[in-house]
Amino acid sequence: MRKVKSIKTKILIRIVLSFILLSIIMQGIVFLSFRSFSLESTKEKALTVAELIRDTITSFMILGVYDRRDIFIDRIKSAHGLKDVNILRGATVINQFGGQKNINHIKTSLEAEVLQTGKINASLNEDLARVEYSLVIPYKATANESVKCLNCHSAKDGDVLGAVSLVMDLSAQRQKGISSVSYMLIVSLVFSIGTLYMIYVFFKPYTSLFQKLNHGFQKVEDGDFSEKIIVNLIDEAGDVAGGFNAMTDNLSKTLSAVSNKVSLLIGHRMEESGNALKDTARTVDMLVKIYKYKRTIEKDSRKNEVFMRLEQTIEEMGIDKYSIYEVDSQKNTIQSISVSCPNEGTLKSMEREQVNTDSEVCWCNMAIKSNADECRAKRTGNFVDSRDFPLICPSFAYTRESLTGQLNYFCIPIFIGGQVGDVVQIIYDRAESDSVRDAIPYVKSFIQESDSVIEAKTFMELLRKQSLVDALTGLYNRRFLDEIYLKICSQTLRRNTVLGILMIDIDFFKQVNDTYGHDVGDKVLEKISSIIKNSVRDADIVVRYGGEEIIALLVDVTEGRSLDVAEKMRQRIQEETIEFPGGVLKKTISIGVSEYPNNADKFWQCVKYADTVLYKAKEDGRNRVYVFNRDMWDKVEY
């Protein structure tokens, strides 16, 4: 059954039901009262008539005119509207005087019961056609009344001498009662209809107000505060309408102010959906997330951790195709920090060192890797949006989907020190367009909050790199070796490989400084350092150990491989010519080689072994490579 929602209909239904119920109750009460009153009146009338008949019949008996009894009874029936009168003799009278005609003919069980019990009894017999009231009154022998019954009757005090049975037709009275109740019902109905109409007219403005309030609140729920309620009421209902209008105005102004302040805070206006409430709730929720995000990245120790948070945030917004590129401003190149490729999955910022270089750029041409200016976002420092201009950036890896608008991209530059240092690229297809476009303003906000942190982390990493790199040679310094050796040793043991340790010294380097000056000595040191660095792999580590001493760590080599690398290195330097203003030089190096953990289970002990054989090589004439063995060490401790 459909529920009734209209308050006007509910009120009318309740009032109508109340009136109907009240009318039924009142009519029932009136009918029962009328019935009770009629029965009591009839009973009193019957008692009076019965007493009259008893007294008159007794008088007839005393006066000797008993034969006039039938005439008297007929006149009584006619005068009082009696349907039947029956005079009954009791057993005592019958025993004394015998029965007579028309006397003691018991017609009903009620009459027999009264003669037996001596108590007045009555019954009401009614159906749709008629109503009859029967009353049987007993006559008892008594010595206390004016007529001394015991003088004539051989009976005791209290014996039933007879009874008078009366039957009264109440059909007319019932019809009158029904007519009266009907008149009252009609009057009540007319009154009810009039009352209902007055109530309807009175409540109509209020029910209209409720309907307008309901419609207004529905619009408020949808974030629309334009609804205004106009009513011609000057009571509390009018105050409610005015309060609603004031509430919507205040909400509209407040939410508009919140939106404007948020736009000033984040630097751009969020796209609106038309529902101010949902837009504000979403904006506030996003501001809370941005605040927590900012607090988190400020405590991250490395820039890659910040990019990892940014990746998580982008993915939480439902964006699964994106790239983050880092610009090397000195070399004007670009490398991928994070990239999601349809064929290769997603490369996280923390995993990029393990990815093949050819797969680092997925959505753009490889040309941007060697020339960062090929990237439009980097070159212009502006947002790049392909939705309006599909060919806006020539360096995008165009496919049929992108050329036909099935695949779009949006690039956001991140500034480091006044220049574009990173670029976030968002890729989306046509089916994702609405959701991604809704998310882009929030991505901008997160990136904006990341700008200063990324910039600070970049400068911190640059400073740290400068503190760990020797300014002259470009090699790592001793401080870097102190920080990294434990990690390298653990990696070597875990992989069950060998760490080759090459201790290198430039032969007769002091003579260069003494003969040609320190400028030439620096040039020689720089040149030899470059040759050593180019003689090993990118994963290997070359450290300026001190003065003209250099140590090279060969990571994950096989046993004996270190000697081959050292020998090739020595030969390259021996063959190299070093030019300087005023002449040329040729230099040689001596190398001592040890292997961890083959020679010792302690890293610095292996370094000491390499240093020992280095000096052995120098003692034996220089320009040679020696490998450590146990016979070269005669000390108990290193």
Comparing CA positions, the residue from 414, 412, 378 lying closest to residue 395 is: 378
Q: 171-193: per-residue pLDDT in tens?
A: 777 787 778 778 877 887 888 78
Which one, of 95, 94, 49, lies nearest residue 72 by Cα? Answer: 49
Q: Label residue 445 left, alpha or beta by phi (over 0 means left) and psi (-120 to 50 means alpha).
A: alpha
Q: What percent of the chain has pLDDT over 90?
A: 18
| Choice between 125 and 623, residue whose per-residue pLDDT is larger | 623
- DSSP H or E run through 546: strand 541-546
Other CB atoms closer than 10 Å to residue 347's CB: what's the count? 23
What's the pLDDT score for residue 13?
77
Q: How far apart are CA 112 and CA 162, in angstroms?
A: 11
Query: Taking the CB of residue 638, how many other CB atoms lie within 10 A of it?
Result: 14
List pLDDT tens digits, range 311-361: 888 888 888 888 899 888 878 888 888 877 665 544 455 444 433 334 456
Q: What percent of the chain has pLDDT over 70?
A: 89
How confident is the model over 568-614, as pLDDT tens digits? 999 999 999 888 888 888 999 999 999 999 999 999 999 999 999 99
What digits encode the pLDDT tens for the residues 421-475?
Answer: 899 999 888 888 888 888 888 888 888 888 888 887 777 777 777 778 888 888 9
Q: Where are the alpha helices (DSSP H) in 583-637?
A: 603-619
* pLDDT in the model for residue 350: 46
pLDDT digit string, tens, across residues 509-541: 989 888 888 888 999 999 999 999 999 988 899
CA distance linking residue 325 with residue 376, whole number of Å: 13
Closest CA to 549 of 531, 568, 528, 566: 528
- Name the residue among 480, 483, 485 with its Cα closest to residue 597: 485
Catalytic residue among 132, 548, 549, 576: 548
- Using an 8 Å Cβ cutoff, are 212 and 229 in contact? yes
Q: Supply the pLDDT for residue 568.
A: 94
pLDDT at 104: 54
Contact (Cβ atoms closer than 8 angstroms) between residue 451 and residue 415: yes
Q: How far is residue 265's CA from residue 270's CA, in Å, rounded to a whole number? A: 11
Nearest CA to 391 out of 379, 374, 409 is that of: 409
- Mean pLDDT is lowest, of 164-168, 243-247, 265-269, 372-376, for 265-269
Whole-angstrom distance, CA of residue 479 vs CA of residue 168 = 132
Average pLDDT over residues 129-140: 83
- Measured distance CA(593)–CA(503) in Å, rounded: 6
Give the highest mean pLDDT range of 166-180, 396-410, 499-513.
499-513
Can you list the domains of the chain with their CATH numbers? 7-175 (3.30.450), 300-462 (3.30.450.40), 478-632 (3.30.70.270)
Q: What is the pLDDT of residues 80-112, one digit of tens each?
A: 778 888 888 777 777 777 765 555 577 888 888
Per-residue confidence (pLDDT) for residue 41, from 0 to 100? 80
**Residue 3 is encoded by which pair of tokens?**
């529920």
The pLDDT confidence band at residue 267, using thresholds 50, 70 and 90, is low
CA dihedral 6, 12, 14, 16 (to 10 degrees): -150
With 0-12 / 13-18 / 19 or more C-beta atoms within 10 angstroms meaning exposed / middle / buried, residue 144 is exposed
DSSP H/E element including 84: strand 82-89
Q: Any residues with CB less than 8 A from the CB of 573 and at least 6 apart, and which?
A: 528, 531, 532, 587, 588, 589
Is 403 exposed, middle or buried, given 0-12, 13-18 or 19+ CB atoms closer than 10 A?
exposed
pLDDT value of position 353: 42
| Four-point Cα dihedral 528, 530, 534, 536, nearest 10 | 70
- Do 440 and 426 form a contact (C-beta atoms < 8 A)? yes
Instruction: Using alpha carbons, list the distances in angstroms from residue 160 to 145, 166, 550.
Output: 15, 17, 151
Using alpha carbons, list the distances in angstroms from residue 105 to 50, 596, 629: 17, 144, 155
pLDDT at 359: 43
Q: Which two three-digit tokens encode residue 230?
A: 């106009």
- Residue 421's closest CA among 325, 338, 340? 325
Higher model confidence: residue 192 or residue 494? Answer: 494
Active site residue 305: no
% helix / strand / coil in the chain, to the nearest 5?
55, 20, 25
Q: What is the pTM of this model?
A: 0.51
Per the prediction, the chain carries an average pLDDT of: 81
What is residue 133's predicted lDDT score, i.e. its pLDDT?
82
